[in-house]
Structure 1
């Protein structure tokens, strides 16, 4: 059965007014989910890593970790890669997500080193399509995932449903193309505006993406994370919509 998670970006209003992610984890657990994804850009201090670990354990949450950095740069692992995995291990994280960077061009030895480091830290690693020209196009994502597979790498793939619109790509076509590779699913809907500067996320029921037809096609092992800002009083309703579709 599909597992539902909540990325702390859901509570962006609270984060932007100083609420700690460790303080949000009990709120997330209160929606009856067992997965939460924390974001590195909102970790306020070194002490927060331990507070997040404690809050996750106290609320029986499995943690994922979003790191807004390229996994590889200039053909080598990101210089901060080991440190990011140390942070993940400290929090008890299960999966760490990076931008894809130039992973489509790296040598097998680099992929082997990434896999070994992930295994040593007890985490899995995924790459994501983001909203940038470097990391967000379908061609780039296909090339990255093909390269990883051909060289026997273990890096998985976090599919972000809404990000395709910011690159002028067709989200439905991207989903069909990349479905076999998806390890984690970031769910959001968008208004479908013609101009990039007018694009915005919407409540699930208000956007142009037929996400309801997509979720049943995912493998049961693929967790689905809500990952867009939602007013606090609307989160329960958004979770309920996802739960209705996936039967969780």
Structure 2
């Protein structure tokens, strides 16, 4: 079976997407590049766009694309309780007919809220993936603890492995892959290079071989999302180049 390649709308840059007319305007570019799907970013919506999710869902279907939905929200609040916005976010993902909702981990303390979380997931019928973000909550140790608790409680949650974010929090991407790969359900593909006092995302073939080699240590049968900058005069051609690269790597 051919590996699924998703394109994150934010890869085109907020200004480019907004000037083009919003995330809907990127669908023909993504479909024309031969990608399988699109990652829709909640933070890029205007209020009017957020209220028109059924229209966006229909447009995604017209372009024969799969969808996933990313919300810039933590699963757990600072006191370790579940984010009360999660049911609404799951409903938005369902309205979008997304494959899954993606959130960050937040402040995971223990498995006490898991029964409630299980009920929320079952009632929504929506899958959930949890990403390592660029905060201390996204470090390897809390991600490992959360993943182990999910396994022990048979909670059906998989991980989004963001290849570059580990550098922002001072962890090894390779060690993180060794520890977490069996639970990864989605890979955010990007390389990261030092930039001033931090890092910046770059395409994996424009950095050292480390990043393409890292893909070999991650599941080959899960979707890969392009989250590095896609720039150029012909965005469809630029996108197609990386869709084809990530299909074969």
91, 94, 98: which one aligns with 1:93: 98
Residue number in structure 2 paired with 1:139: 141
1:229 aligns with 2:229: yes
User: Aligned equivalents of 2:142 and 2:19: distance in 1?
Assistant: 36
1:239 aligns with 2:243: yes
Residue number in structure 2 paired with 1:103: 108
1:3 aligns with 2:8: no
Residue number in structure 2 paired with 1:167: 169
User: Aligned equivalents of 1:220 and 1:160: distance in 2?
Assistant: 15
User: Aligned equivalents of 1:20 and 1:177: distance in 2?
Assistant: 38
Residue number in structure 2 paired with 1:202: 202
Deviates more, 1:202-211 or 1:171-180: 202-211
Q: What are the superposed Cα offsets for residues 43-95 of structure 1, whole Å, 9 maximum, x if unpaired?
A: 11233312321111111111111111111222322111111111111111110
When normalised by structure 2's length, the TM-score is: 0.88
When normalised by structure 1's length, the TM-score is: 0.89
User: Aligned equivalents of 1:190 and 1:240: distance in 2?
Assistant: 21
Residue number in structure 2 paired with 1:24: 26
Deviates more, 1:61-70 or 1:230-239: 230-239
Post-superposition shift, 1:8? 0.8
- Give 5+ residue unaligned stretches, structure 1: none
User: Aligned equivalents of 2:109 and 2:184: distance in 1?
Assistant: 17
Post-superposition shift, 1:149? 1.4
User: Aligned equivalents of 1:7 and 1:238: distance in 2?
Assistant: 12
Secondary structure of the corresponding residue to residue 71 of structure 1: strand
Post-superposition shift, 1:211? 2.9
- Give 5+ residue unaligned stretches, structure 2: none
